């Protein structure tokens, strides 16, 4: 696994270089780093891999993704995203600035398998494969020492169980283990996958972190007891005259806690991507090879930092979730 | 508001569906068996350690028991040895006493026998002497009748013949 990580790291540092000229070229007139960066951290209806050639003759190498749209008037429609390439329209739908709209201006609910959704599916499959393999390891090595993938993930799983769940939730921690483990590995895996060349910025997408934070909120509320609400509406140790203020503050706290979870993960991962991309953009802004060593050094440094941030954010999200669940 | 700050419905939907699906599948096929195995293994290790501790205590108890047994055995042996010595001594003393008694008895018997023999011998001597006296007297009486000188000579010769054995 260590070797795997180092290989991954190599790719990560290479990736940016491979992609950037394409971004510049596709714009035709000059290089706009802001646009390039936003394009990279955003979602898309196609998986863009590379652009060969420049300007008018540029060939875009991209994988078309399925478009799934629901229109209240027409119902569900499903077709390949390739049909909408180069501003074409299909079935009354077209892409405007990579946003799916109906030609007649009616409402469209876009359930397309975008780049992020595809990445999500991939990471879900990866997690299922990895962790069922780990589970198989326990069956195979029953009563013996763990081996392979199992021995890599076991300390992490035990850490989450002992240091995060048991410490913060208490004796009833077992019920929450599946969510904590899934959330931790989902965030970690997607953070790492997001650092891969040409990959989607899934865990840095606010929709994803929104859903994760909402789940934490739902679980916190579902597991809340009398004590939890007593802490909100009659915070112990607070003088009576202060209670009206405290109730408002504590009540808002119910929502600000998951909100902070959402923003923290989204901002950390997105910011990391932006910083890496910014350093790489320097080469094209200065149009000089001289800045390449600086770019390389800083890009590499931030990339390594991002590897740390990847697991750190997964840890923080899981830890805070456990703390919210375990709060009295 | 920039597009990347705007959560999109499609991704929210897919994230919700896929995450819940992953949560369910992993919960059923990965986390449950993994956590159960971990718990089982920890329990096994815990039990093994506890059993080892118990075995150690038992060993110590056994060792103490053995030592006590050994000490008891040693004690018993000493006691038996002592007893045996005492008995042997007693036996020897008794035997000695018996032997002394026997010896004394034999000596006494011997003495008695000697005394008897002596008495018998003395009686015989007395008898023989009396008989001889009578004999001699008879012969003297007979000779005196003939010759007094010869008579004395004869007594002398007779006396010579008589041997007081």
pLDDT, tens digit (0-9, with 9 covering 90-100), for B28-49 = 999 999 999 999 999 999 999 9
| Structural domain includes residue B12 | no
Domain boundary among A112, A140, A172: A112
Residues A226 and A83 in one domain: no
Residues A85 and A171 in one domain: no
- Mutation site for A-interface testing, chosen from B1, B5, B6, B19 by largest number of A Cβ within 10 Å: B19
Give the pairing type, strands A46-52 and A99-102.
unpaired
| Structural domain includes residue B142 | yes
Residues A76 and A137 in one domain: no
Q: How far apart are the first and last CA of chain A?
A: 39
Residues A104 and A166 in one domain: no
Q: Which residue has the higher pLDDT, A144 or A168?
A: A168
From B42, which residue of chain A is nearest by alpha-carbon distance? A143
- What average pLDDT does this structure show over A115-140? 93
Residues A219 and A92 in one domain: no
From A160, which residue of chain B is nearest by alpha-carbon distance? B35
pTM beyond cutoff 0.90:
no
Size of interface A-B (CB pairs under 8 A): 116
Residues A199 and A97 in one domain: no
| Chain B residues closer than 8 Å to A186 by CB | 19, 22
Does residue A110 register a pLDDT over 50? yes
| Structural domain includes residue B25 | no
Does residue A218 register a pLDDT over 90? yes
| Structural domain includes residue B119 | yes
| Structural domain includes residue B103 | yes
ipTM of this predicted structure: 0.84
- What average pLDDT does this structure show over A236-254? 86
Host domain of residue A252: 116-326
Interface of A with B in 118-157 (CB under 8 A): 120-121, 124, 127-128, 131-132, 134-135, 138-139, 142-143, 154, 157
Domain boundary among A112, A144, A167: A112
Q: Say which residue the tokens 């709060």 belong to.
A: A327
Looking at A100-104, A277-281, B150-154, which range is the least confident one? B150-154
Per-residue pLDDT of A131-144, as tens digits, reads 999 999 998 888 78
Q: How far apart are the first and last CA of chain B?
A: 172
Are A306 and A276 contacting, i.e. CB atoms less than 8 angstroms apart?
yes
| Structural domain includes residue B138 | yes
Per-residue confidence band for A6, with pLDDT thresholds at 50, 70 and 90: low
Residues A152 and A271 in one domain: yes
Residues A145 and A84 in one domain: no
| Structural domain includes residue A38 | no
Residues A149 and A291 in one domain: yes
DSSP state of A170: -
| Structural domain includes residue B73 | yes
Residues A97 and A169 in one domain: no
Tokens representing residue A305 in the block = 């930092």
Domain count across chain A? 2
Domain count across chain B? 1
* A79 DSSP β-pair partners: A67
Are A80 and A67 contacting, i.e. CB atoms less than 8 angstroms apart?
yes
* C-alpha dist (Å) from residue B60 to A167, B66, B69, B73: 38, 10, 14, 19
Tell me how close the Cα of B59 comes to any Cα of chain A, in angstroms: 27
The reported pLDDT for the residue numbered A33 is 83
From B28, which residue of chain A is nearest by alpha-carbon distance? A178
CA–CA dist A284, A32 (Å, integer): 9
| Structural domain includes residue A123 | yes
The reported pLDDT for the residue numbered A93 is 83
Residues A88 and A202 in one domain: no
Residues A144 and A277 in one domain: yes
Q: How many C-beta atoms surround the C-beta of residue A189 within 10 A?
A: 20
Domain boundary among A88, A112, A136: A112
CB contact under 8 A, B26 and A208: no
Looking at A1-15, A201-215, A298-312, B130-144, which range is the least confident one? A1-15
Are A235 and A246 contacting, i.e. CB atoms less than 8 angstroms apart?
yes
């Amino acid at each position: 696994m260590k070797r795997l990580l180092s290989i991954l790291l190599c790719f990560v540092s290479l990736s940016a270089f491979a992609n950037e000229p394409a971004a510049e070229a596709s714009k035709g007139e000059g290089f706009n780093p802001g646009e390039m960066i936003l394009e990279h951290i955003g979602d898309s209806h196609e998986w863009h891999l590379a652009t060969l050639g420049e300007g008018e003759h540029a060939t875009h190498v991209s994988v078309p993704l399925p478009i799934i749209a629901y229109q209240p008037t027409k119902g569900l429609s499903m077709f390949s995203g390739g049909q909408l390439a180069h501003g074409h329209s299909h079935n009354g739908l077209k892409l405007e600035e990579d946003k799916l709209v109906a030609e007649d201006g009616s409402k469209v609910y876009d359930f397309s398998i975008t780049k992020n959704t595809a990445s999500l599916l991939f990471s879900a499959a990866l997690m299922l494969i990895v962790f069922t393999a780990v589970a198989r390891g326990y069956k195979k090595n029953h009563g013996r020492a763990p081996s392979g993938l199992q021995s890599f993930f076991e300390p992490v799983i035990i850490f989450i169980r002992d240091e995060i769940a048991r410490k913060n939730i208490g004796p009833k921690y077992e019920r929450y283990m599946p969510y904590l483990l899934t959330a931790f590995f989902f965030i970690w895996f997607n953070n790492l996958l997001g650092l891969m060349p040409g990959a989607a910025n899934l865990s840095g997408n606010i929709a994803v972190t929104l859903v994760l934070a909402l789940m934490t909120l739902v679980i916190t509320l579902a597991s809340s007891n009398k004590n939890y609400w007593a802490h909100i509406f009659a915070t112990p140790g607070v003088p009576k005259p202060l209670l009206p203020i405290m109730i408002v503050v504590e009540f808002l706290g119910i929502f600000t806690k998951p909100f902070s979870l959402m923003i923290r993960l989204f901002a950390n991962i997105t910011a990391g991507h932006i910083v890496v991309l910014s350093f790489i953009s320097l080469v094209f802004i200065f149009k000089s090879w001289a800045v390449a060593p600086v770019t390389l050094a800083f890009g590499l440094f931030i990339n390594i930092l991002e590897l740390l941030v990847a697991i750190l954010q997964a840890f923080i999200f899981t830890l805070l979730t456990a703390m919210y669940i375990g709060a009295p | 508001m920039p597009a990347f700050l705007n959560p999109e419905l499609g991704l929210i939907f897919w994230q919700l569906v896929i995450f819940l699906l992953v949560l369910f599948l992993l919960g059923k096929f990965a986390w449950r068996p993994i956590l159960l195995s971990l718990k089982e293994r920890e329990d096994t290790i815990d039990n093994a350690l506890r059993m080892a501790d118990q075995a150690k205590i038992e060993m110590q108890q056994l060792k103490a028991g053995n030592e006590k047994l050994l000490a008891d055995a040693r004690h018993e042996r000493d006691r038996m040895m002592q007893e045996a010595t005492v008995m042997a001594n007693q036996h020897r003393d008794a035997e000695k006493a018996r032997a002394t008694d026997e010896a004394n008895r034999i000596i006494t018997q011997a003495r008695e026998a000697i005394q008897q023999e002596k008495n018998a011998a003395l009686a015989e001597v007395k008898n023989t002497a009396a008989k001889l006296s009578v004999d001699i007297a008879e012969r003297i009486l007979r000779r005196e009748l003939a010759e007094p000188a010869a008579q004395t000579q004869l007594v002398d010769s007779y006396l010579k013949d008589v041997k007081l054995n």
